Amino acid sequence: MQKLYHGAAFYPELWEREVVEEDIRHMQKIGINVVRIGEFIWSYIEPREGEIDISFLINVIKRLKEHGIDTVMCTPTATPPIWMSYQHPERMHVDNEGTVMSHGARQHFCTNNGYFREKAAIITEALAKGLGKLPGVIGWQLDNEFKCHVGECYCETCKVEWHNFLEQKYQTIDQLNTAWGTQIWSQYYQSFEQIPQPSSTPFLHNASLLTMYKIFTHEKIAEFAKEQATIIRSYSDIPITHNATVFFDLDQALLFENLDFASFDTYAVQENVSSYMMLCDLYRNIKKDSPFWLMETSTSFSASLERYASPHPDGYLQAEAVYAYAAGAEGFCYWLWRQQRTGCEIAHGSVISAWGKPTIGYKNVLEVERIRQELEPLLLHTEPLQAEVAICYSDRAKAYFQTEAFNGVQYKQILTDFYERFISLGIHRDLIMEQADLDGYKLLCTPFIPYLSSEYIQRTIAFVEKGGIWIVGPLTGGRTKDHTIQTDYALGELEKLAGVQALFTNPLDGTNTYGEAFGITADLGLWSTIFDVEKGENIGIIKDGVGAGNAFIKEMKRGKGKIVFLGSLPLGSQGEKMVEALIHHYAKEAAVKMEIKTTDGTAIIPRIGKDASYWVVVNMDGKTGEVTLPKKSVDWKSNQILESGKYEIPPYDYRVIKYHF
């Protein structure tokens, strides 16, 4: 990392030249050192088919560079021009009720449409050729928020692609029929062409069909991204990213596999601070060799014609920036620089207003810049410390829950609740994709992943055999790769290899079933796996209600480590305590370091340098927090010695504690 970036989305195509010049001077004055441009500019640079002129962009990028501002250049494929869509309904995105999208917003095109792919390749090539080596361009962003507004497409092109996808996956129609169990309800197919897209039906589609259509969508958008990245790479060595986030219909492991660095957007309000922290802890780990970017966030509030959020409390933006930079972000950027004069997001928060004056968030932006400068020397010479605890994240799991919601499970929400237990315990944690390397971790949690691949199970068991502890569940492992039920054991290969025995799988919500573990009793809920008490260690026992006398938490020794099954979700505040006790117990057993404590609402991000370790302690809740230092340390900013003991962290403020090895 050469420097820390502080940036904003910039739309010079929407303003007169003098305004653009004024904006560039203004950005320079307040320290904005990067802009992201061009993600919606297609019709401006190709007003008529084939008439591409990117000289406007070349000039803007030059002017920015002359003012010390770098550029992340976007491909504009999220908003194809009218000449592509006019009188061509067959090129548009179609939803599951058959509604054809009209021109006017964004993501209105089907990204699998051949004509779209062709035109997208041409415009991307023109940009890569013309700008790929231009001084000032430091990154590429593909498109904008793939699959943010639209999920699966049901157009005729997608129908053909869907059949090709299935044929490639299953080879023969018989293998598909067997895998999906299509004798059910006379679904049996004679050829791939007969397989419907999962559009309207009187009742529900087959789970396999639904989940596979989502996986098809994930794979096709990742394929489009790869196609675009390949074009750019033939003209430009500049790293490529995409601004994703966890609720889009994407398989990010697949998407980022072919990109160079990870980025995300978030508009979380302060009440959802844990979700904000979780995103930083996830995106830091998607591309381990490159720092991540927070590509878009609001200076204060988001808004559109439909709704608006409340402004951030004064100071919260600074805490967000400290957390992101300390967690490994190279860039912290706003959407957007100048409030839009037109469109559907005219009310959205920005750095300056449409009339060029500071907005309500402006003062905080100046503060973020002060902090960026203050932190830069530290962050350029240290790195985020890999956690010893990892929580597995899976977009494929999200697709399974979209198909089978187990009474309304929202993957992101339930995972965030689980993640909050680690925050409460003050345990440093990484969120990692299923494919991630497990080296260096001591405790791995795999909650809420209905399907675990055999490869994942084998690799994780190897991690356990070497001494790792693996907490599996709730809701993990009960489904196959085709979204069917296993027929050998309830939890399939995992159950067989672990030697545990699952007796029943059923819901526990609303049954007054409660269990006991670690001296805590709590109600149990969610779709649960109930284990026998014969084999292994019984850590949690169902005391009353459904399945009473059996186990809901089991521990199975394996090699030097353990597999711990959490079969049910302990509910309410007692349940939270129980899950925390479970995590704490196994973190301790795995010898996870838990040295430094803070009060709730104050976070710690550990970093590592050549001869010292650092703890960035930041207050996120706006109430004065406290950190307890276990040993004599140094205050990095003032260089003063800090004896062990308690120190205050003022609202949204931060401290860096240095500790020499």
Judged by the rule CB under 6 A, the positions of this chain that interact with ligand GAL are: 144-145, 148, 265, 267, 296, 302, 335, 345, 348
**Quick one: which of 449, 490, 483 has its CA closest to 207?**
483
Contact 48, 75 (CB under 8 A): no
Distance CA 300, CA 320 (A): 11
Q: How far apart are the first and last CA of the chain?
A: 24
Q: How far is the CB of 334 from ligand GAL (least distance, A)?
A: 10
Contact 292, 283 (CB under 8 A): yes
Phi-psi region of 475 (alpha: psi -120 to 50; beta: other; left: phi over 0): left
Distance CA 448, CA 418 (A): 10
Q: How far is the CB of 103 from ligand GAL (least distance, A)?
A: 17
Our CB check for ligand GAL shows the closer of 252 and 302 to be: 302
Q: How far is the CB of 412 from ligand GAL (least distance, A)?
A: 15
Q: How far is the CB of 39 from ligand GAL (least distance, A)?
A: 7
Our CB check for ligand GAL shows the closer of 335 and 441 to be: 335
Our CB check for ligand GAL shows the closer of 300 and 403 to be: 300
Our CB check for ligand GAL shows the closer of 143 and 161 to be: 143
Q: How far is the CB of 266 from ligand GAL (least distance, A)?
A: 9
Q: What are phi and psi of 645, to 5 degrees?
A: 140, -165
Does 296 qualify as catalytic in the annotation?
Answer: yes
Structure tokens at 127: 């940009």
Q: How far is the CB of 148 from ligand GAL (least distance, A)?
A: 6
Distance CA 328, CA 413 (A): 24
- Apex 425 CA angle, 464 and 378, nearest 5: 90
Cis peptide before 336 (omega within 30 of 0): yes
Our CB check for ligand GAL shows the closer of 105 and 160 to be: 105
Given 39, 296, 320, 555, the catalytic residue: 296
Our CB check for ligand GAL shows the closer of 301 and 565 to be: 301
Distance CA 387, CA 441 (A): 7
Q: At what angle do helices 114-131 and 55-66 cross, to 10 degrees?
A: 40
Q: How far is the CB of 349 from ligand GAL (least distance, A)?
A: 8
Q: How far is the CB of 265 from ligand GAL (least distance, A)?
A: 5
Residue the block writes with tokens 């070497």: 466
Quick one: how far is CA 288 from the chain centroid? 14
Our CB check for ligand GAL shows the closer of 266 and 633 to be: 266
* Contact partners, residue 405, CB within 8 Å, separation at least 6: none
- The rounded radius of gyration (Å) of the Cα atoms in the chain is 26
- H-run or E-run covering 120: helix 114-131
Does 493 qualify as catalytic in the annotation?
Answer: no
Q: How far is the CB of 35 from ligand GAL (least distance, A)?
A: 14
610, exposed or middle or buried, with CB in 10 Å at 0-12, 13-18, 19+? Answer: exposed
- Bridge partners of residue 287, in order along the sequence: none
Polymer length in residues for the chain? 661
Given 145, 320, 330, 420, the catalytic residue: 145
Our CB check for ligand GAL shows the closer of 39 and 161 to be: 39
The residue at minimum Cβ distance from ligand GAL is 302
Structure tokens at 245: 């986030």
Q: How far is the CB of 49 from ligand GAL (least distance, A)?
A: 25
Write b or e for each residue in 401-416: b if 16 or more Cβ atoms lie within 10 A of its Cβ, otherwise e: bbbbebeebebbebbb
- Bridge partners of residue 660, in order along the sequence: 612
Q: DSSP class of residue 152?
A: -
* Contact partners, residue 267, CB within 8 Å, separation at least 6: 296, 297, 298, 302, 309
Our CB check for ligand GAL shows the closer of 146 and 527 to be: 146
- DSSP SS3 for 502: strand
Structure tokens at 100: 């054809």
Our CB check for ligand GAL shows the closer of 143 and 555 to be: 143
DSSP 169-184: HHSSHHHHHHHHTTTG
- The residues carrying an active-site annotation are 145, 296
